[in-house]
Structure 1
Amino acid sequence: MAGGLTETGDLYSPGIGMIYVFNLIVGSGALTLPKAFADAGWFISVILLVTLAFMSFMTSTFLIETMAAANAAIRYKKLTEKPEGEESDTGSLSSHGSVEEEKSSLLASQSASINRSSSLPKIQYKQYSEITEIPSKTRRDHFDITQRIEMGQMASMFFSRAGVHLFYACIVIYLYGDLAIYAAAVPTSLRDVVCYSNQGNSNTNLSENHPCWNSKNLTRIDVYRIFLGVFTVTLVPFVFFNVQKTKYLQIFTSLMRWLAFSVMIILALIHVSKGKGAGQPKAFIFSGIPNLFGVCIYSFMCQHSLPSLVTPIKNKSRLSTLFFGDFTVILMFYLVLSFTAVFCFDNSQLKDLYTLNFSDSAVCSVVAIQYFLALFPVFTLSTNFPIIAITLRNNLKTMFHREGKKCPWMVDQIIYPMITVLPPIGVAFYTHDLEFLVGITGSYAGVGIQYLTPACLVYYARKHIDRCYGKRLENKHASLFKHKIWVFFILIWAVACVIFVTVNHIVSRK
């Protein structure tokens, strides 16, 4: 619910919560990782994967600490404004039961958080007086994470108005990138399935101007754009309404995702074990580092949905340990997926969307599996597109619509949906280079969401808690990286990475 209000529903165990986080992180970004891994070289890829996994883990702990601080800030304000005993912000929380839905609707509940100052007021320190009569244990309980407070809501509590708008601009850019990736991935998968099945040979090394059918004039890029048009006509109308996916659809797509990843790893391992692997990966390719950096950030992205997934966990006493285990398993999974890919396929054969490599009968001779893997992105990404688009539409309204002023029907029902879908569809029409799209989205907007925002949030949240409770009381959900030097390290790292990627893109274009 907006405003960080307590929700009613079922809690779930820490193990289930970590499964949700695991499924959230391992999503569409993993499909572009093998190609980026090969383009940068296996040695530098391993180093970068390990480094970015560690960085993402660190900022996840920052965000958890900020969630606890935000809960404590709300409780503190209630205690200073109401007589003791009137606080009633605890209760059971809902299990959202759907990881992809959490990722897709990451800001649906906070799209109006800036305007709802009554629920999450802007902190005014001069309103507070130090409460010394509250027992220390009771004050520690103030850091219990029982209210779901999304990133945008935390930004409205701890950032200035300019900071809040910068955050929303960053998340909007990220969502635009997400939509462009989805809009390109689905038609690409359909195009490769159709053209492959009619040519009777592999799509490997075929140019975009190559005929899709031997006896037809339509080229591969023509067929891609036709499918993009079908994709647009089919899914874009949903953006003009409010729709949500069902829990059962989410369970189905989650099972399909894990089945697809498992099949790809097993097929590649079997092919390599038979001595048929064509890959001879290089150790270091400098030119591939920028895209790998963006793909890795995109592949470890989870911060935007952590409040929705962490809050309903029953026992939160070992969150840092559980998250460390989750990130370690995910890192191992990515390494296995990438190494089996680069040794199974030659670098020139690897495609931006890894599932398309298994259309080659040399690796997979079962036609049903070939079609299942090739069409896997179509089913999973298509179900996410309308929800992400609606989320983006709502946040665009939050950014541009004035508080208290009614939005005209034409602007609300027509203009906002159109400016939501036209830019990503236009990008997908211009290019379907998924590795590039993922790299750009991760390198810029992803840096803001994964690094800059959590670091700034935890910094200002710590300052606020010190002003409320003093330094005598420690946040029981404090990050393992307590020293402020880690915050500045993350900020310097993020800025340095953005500069490096930008310079490299400029130089490479020359």
Structure 2
Amino acid sequence: MADEYSSWVGLIYVFNLIVGTGALTLPSVFAGAGWLLSTILVSLLALVSFITVTFVIETMACANATVHWRRVQSHKIDESEVPDESDSEPENTTEETAIMSINRRTKRYYNLNTKVELGEMAKLYFNKLGQLLFYVSLCIYLYGDLAIYATAVSKTIVDLTCKTNNNNTEDYSTKCSESLDVLKIDMYRIFVTIFAFSVGPFTYFKVQKTKYLQIVTTGLRWSAFIIMITLAVIRLSKNGQEGHPDLVHLSGVPSLIGSSIYSFMCHHSVPGLIAPFSNKQHVIRQIGLDYLSICCFYLLLAMTGSFAFETLDDLYTLNFIPTESDNSGIFMEVIKYFLGAFPLFTLSTSFPIIAITLQNNLKSLFLDINLMERYNFFIRRLAFPTLAVVPPIVVAFSTHNLRTLVAFTGSYAGVLIQYIIPACLVYFARQHCTRNIGNYDNKYSSPFRHVFWFIFVIGWSIFCVIFVTANFIMQELHTK
């Protein structure tokens, strides 16, 4: 097929999808939870995330089987039209070979050739309540995503434009600069408003990522992360260890959990990335290699940052913005300003795409998407784009605390999308296929097929939610 790509190219796409905004929030929360405990937790969270990715892949194969089986049973297609990757059947048929032939025919239903999105899987295997919970969870996650984007972009502009003697970049009660009698919090809200009116309108049009835009943003992302790691290593070699994170600091764990879940998220996009693989035979093993590489990359980024800087900003790129006392030369100033402005490039271009995805899911939740033409222009083209953009802008306007936004989005909506929904989908998909197709011979079954792993994922999800909720309550009581 013309739109296919090699599995290794696909793995680069997966890598690029996962390594994004979340990675910029990791160094701060990594140091806050203690470098030893954070290393263990990030590794564990990467493992749990990989487990649930294999659940999504298995469910996608089940969904392909279910769709093919239903079409065969309704005589819409002949059984010979189902894609077959197995060998041809033997000519001499016995009772044993007949059983084997039936097994082969059902086995070939399980493939990854057709892209089946999470929403479609939910409609196949969840009841009405389950489908509602799925769409609500996805919409909440996307709302959180958009709020994080708007906040990160506005914070970046504030720190690029406001020059103060205060080294605490999170203190927004100070003036933006000595010559400008405006508080940083007011400047932040001005930039949120500008962002809303400059980027938000694109949500009302059919904006799609172009191939060249992807190439440019991918190049910018890789350049920025490699430069940040390199500069942190150079800083360590020249100045020695300036940061002194604890080994273990439990109060920082909730933020680390939220940020890590957010940083390993790709589950809602897995079907679209996996379907075009030209060779899907070892896809689970290759995705595992991707996750191992990403985990090591995150640990390297967070570890170098934790020990290279005495204090870390919620958005790691802000640590590289030149100060008035910085005499590193013009070239290094340009590099540091590039790092500081890095979120502006990637997040501003991604915001309309995420907002369009959100409005499409909101339409699926509230409208009959098969009868869209029956709705008037206001409902179709104005109401839902506005509903997608306004709430996250309001959230960003009311708080600049990026760490809390990431912790909330990752620890609640992220837990549902990344852990609970994939686990429930694969559980019900296995039952459905076994009951209706008969022989569950899914070659894309998760290596974590034992019921223990299902219980482990659900238990881990409950632990994450309870731990983070308890921490939020304690913080509120402490502030009062």
Q: TM-score, normalised by structure 1?
A: 0.86
The number of residues matched between the two structures is: 458
Partner of 1:393: 359
Q: Deviations along 1:81-127, whole A, 9 cap, x unmatched?
A: 21873664659xxxxxxxxxxxxxxxxxxxxxxxxxxxxxxxxxxxx
Alignment of 1:52-201 (within 5 A): 52-82=45-75, 85=78, 88=81, 134-196=101-163, 199=164
Distance in 1 of aligned mates of 2:320 and 2:471:
32
Distance 1:48 1:65, change over 3 A: same
Partner of 2:427: 459
Distance 1:336 1:75, change over 3 A: same
Percent identity over paired residues = 47
Distance in 2 of aligned mates of 1:133 and 1:55:
36
Native 8 Å contact 1:268 1:363 kept in 2: no
Distance in 2 of aligned mates of 1:454 and 1:206:
37
- Residue 318 of structure 2 is aligned to residue 356 of structure 1: yes
Q: Deviations along 1:387-419, whole A, 9 cap, x unmatched?
A: 111111121121112564732322333322222
Q: Deviations along 1:49-91, whole A, 9 cap, x unmatched?
A: 0110000010011111101111111111122221873664659
- Residue 34 of structure 2 is aligned to residue 41 of structure 1: yes
Q: TM-score, normalised by structure 2?
A: 0.91
- Give 1:236 deviation, angstroms: 1.2
Alignment of 1:146-295 (within 5 A): 146-196=113-163, 199=164, 203-205=167-169, 207-295=171-259
- Give 1:210 deviation, angstroms: 1.3
Q: After the TM superposition, which of the residue ranges 449-458 and 394-403 deviates more from structure 2?
A: 394-403
Partner of 1:376: 342
- Give 1:439 deviation, angstroms: 0.7
Distance 1:378 1:226, change over 3 A: same
Native 8 Å contact 1:26 1:330 kept in 2: yes
Give unmatched runs, 5+ long, in structure 2. 85-97
Native 8 Å contact 1:279 1:342 kept in 2: yes
Partner of 2:449: 482
Distance in 2 of aligned mates of 1:87 and 1:133:
16
Give unmatched runs, 5+ long, in structure 1. 1-7, 92-130
Distance in 1 of aligned mates of 2:55 and 2:82:
23
Distance 1:87 1:398, change over 3 A: farther
| Equivalent position amino acid for 1:379 in 2 | F
Partner of 1:30: 23
C-alpha RMSD of the superposition: 2.0
Partner of 1:315: 279
| Equivalent position amino acid for 2:111 in 1 | D
Distance in 1 of aligned mates of 2:417 and 2:75:
36
Distance in 2 of aligned mates of 1:133 and 1:355:
58
Partner of 2:407: 439
Of 17, 23, 32 in structure 1, the residue corresponding to residue 10 of structure 2 is: 17
Q: Deviations along 1:145-167, whole A, 9 cap, x unmatched?
A: 11000000000001001101110
The SS at the match of 1:313 is coil
The SS at the match of 2:142 is helix
Native 8 Å contact 2:106 2:441 kept in 1: no
Partner of 2:91: none
- Residue 288 of structure 2 is aligned to residue 324 of structure 1: yes
| Equivalent position amino acid for 1:38 in 2 | A
Distance in 2 of aligned mates of 1:318 and 1:311:
13
Distance 1:33 1:206, change over 3 A: closer
| Equivalent position amino acid for 1:165 in 2 | L
Distance in 2 of aligned mates of 1:360 and 1:88:
62
Native 8 Å contact 1:202 1:360 kept in 2: no
Distance 1:280 1:311, change over 3 A: same
- Residue 460 of structure 2 is aligned to residue 498 of structure 1: no
Q: Deviations along 1:450-477, whole A, 9 cap, x unmatched?
A: 0011000100110011113324x42100
The SS at the match of 1:350 is coil
Of 397, 402, 422 in structure 2, the residue corresponding to residue 429 of structure 1 is: 397
- Give 1:205 deviation, angstroms: 4.9
Distance 1:319 1:402, change over 3 A: closer
Partner of 2:333: 367
- Give 1:421 deviation, angstroms: 1.2
Native 8 Å contact 1:358 1:364 kept in 2: no
Distance in 1 of aligned mates of 2:192 and 2:304:
31
Partner of 1:470: 438
Partner of 2:375: 407
Distance in 1 of aligned mates of 2:55 and 2:224:
33
Distance 1:303 1:323, change over 3 A: same
| Equivalent position amino acid for 1:383 in 2 | T
| Equivalent position amino acid for 2:73 in 1 | T
- Give 1:139 deviation, angstroms: 2.4
Distance in 2 of aligned mates of 1:363 and 1:75:
66
The SS at the match of 2:239 is coil
Native 8 Å contact 1:38 1:281 kept in 2: yes
Distance in 1 of aligned mates of 2:241 and 2:178:
30
Q: Deviations along 1:162-214, whole A, 9 cap, x unmatched?
A: 10111000000000000000010111111101113xx5x57545621211120
Distance in 2 of aligned mates of 1:409 and 1:150:
27
Distance 1:47 1:363, change over 3 A: farther
Distance in 2 of aligned mates of 1:426 and 1:414:
18
Distance 1:439 1:363, change over 3 A: farther
Native 8 Å contact 1:192 1:203 kept in 2: no
